[in-house]
Amino acid sequence: MTRARILVTTPIPEPGPSLLAAAADVTVLDAPPSYAELAALCASGDYDVVLTQLRDRIDAELLGRAKVRGVSNFAVGYNNIDVAAATERGIVVGNTPGVLTDATADVAMLLILGTARRVVEADRMVREGRFHGWEPELLLGADVSGRTLGLAGFGRIARATARRALGFGMEVLFAPRPPGDRPVEDAELGEFAGRVRKVEWGELVASSDFLSLHVPLAEETHHLVDARVLARMKPSAILINTARGPVVDEAALVEALRAGTIAAAGLDVFEDEPLLAPGLAELPNTVLLPHIGSATVPVRAEMSRLSALNAIAMAAGQTPEHAVNPQAWSEPVRGARSSS
């Protein structure tokens, strides 16, 4: 029986490499591949499964020529992959849900606190020797306790953020599927029943002191926060984005921050990563992080483990534990290449 062949587009931390090596012949690329390189590798017939990163664009064109049976993404989000096209081709897509929920919510809370208390401006002042001692009106910020946090989406990371915010004495509102709506029963709210309040997207936008985004990037959520939405926010409001950059119209955000339409923004993600919209980096009322929501040692190890186990299962022809589109294999697999 031949061993499965797995392509890993970027080196990942342990335990993934050891798990993969025990189960398959593994090729790890030294440097992230270009789109053309990755497309050629996936089309080569040399690999059963590819383990990808968010920067790897797995679109319909690439999938149309691919001879892999699975794509295991090292992330919970999978907007870099055209899942409909993968399903059509009989290619299963895996992701890493759950293990990064608390770490990412920590970063949302960090951005809430960091923007409210002007941490970047304060840090710079100290480092640049401009701190001359305690002053009654030095770097006054906003309170967090008693203020209203609006959560766009109420999935895993939004709930973990709500848990933290309630601990800080915030009032928590949420819109479950913005910009649309859907009913949410108390049973679905679980521990949050009676402690958070569901509102429609328009009300969330208008009444939040902090508006924090927790939806996946999809057609419906692209530019969910645009110039019109920013104009409906309070002038004192702060926008927090740990979801995906294109959920916000970043050029419109720069304008809104310049004009004082809103007070500040805390961003872990950007519309065209790693590039920033012109002017964003110069704005003092921003806290900008390089997409580090899940970046703790234990969490990245868990993501490594899950993505490796997903890849190994796919290579063996088994639906992985975390399959985004298990239906891709519910019919005879069209695009699959046998590994044995």
The contact pattern for ligand GLV, residues 29-58, with x = CB under 6 A and - = no contact, is: -------------------------x----
Q: How far apart are CA 44 and CA 97, in angstroms?
A: 30
Residues 6+ apart with CB under 8 A from 94: 70, 71, 72, 73, 306, 307, 310, 311, 313, 314, 320, 322, 323, 324
Q: Which of 293, 304, 320, 325 binds ligand GLV (CB under 6 A)?
A: 293
Q: Which is nearer to ligand GLV, 104 or 319 (CB)?
A: 104
Answer yes or no: 222 catalytic: no
177 binds ligand NAP, rule: CB under 6 A: yes
DSSP state string for 304-327: HHHHHHHHHHHHTTPPPTTBS-GG
DSSP state string for 95-123: ---STTHHHHHHHHHHHHHHHHTTHHHHH
114 binds ligand NAP, rule: CB under 6 A: no
Q: How far apart are CA 73 and CA 59, in angstroms?
A: 13
Q: Which of 14, 37, 220, 282 binds ligand NAP (CB under 6 A)?
A: 220
Instruction: Name the residue among 321, 302, 271 with its Cα closest to residue 13.
Output: 302
Q: Which is nearer to ligand GLV, 153 or 293 (CB)?
A: 293
Residues 6+ apart with CB under 8 A from 142: 116, 117, 209, 236, 238, 263
Answer yes or no: 244 catalytic: yes
Structure tokens at 109: 């809370």
Q: Which is nearer to ligand GLV, 96 or 208 (CB)?
A: 96
Which of 89, 147, 164, 291 is catalytic? The answer is 291
Per CB under 6 A, which of residues 86..105 are in contact with ligand NAP?
A: 97, 100-101, 104
Q: How far apart are CA 234 and CA 336, in angstroms?
A: 52
Answer yes or no: 214 catalytic: no
Q: Which of 161, 294, 319, 339 binds ligand GLV (CB under 6 A)?
A: 294
Q: How far apart are CA 32 and CA 90, in angstroms?
A: 25
**Could you tell which of ligand NAP, ligand GLV, none binds residue 97, using a CB distance below 5 to 8 A set by kind?**
ligand NAP
Q: Which of 12, 20, 63, 100 binds ligand GLV (CB under 6 A)?
A: 100
Chain positions contacting ligand GLV, by CB under 6 A: 54, 75-77, 100, 293-294
Chain positions contacting ligand NAP, by CB under 6 A: 76-77, 97, 100-101, 104, 153-158, 176-178, 182, 214-218, 220-221, 242-244, 268-269, 291, 293-294
Active-site residue set: 244, 273, 291
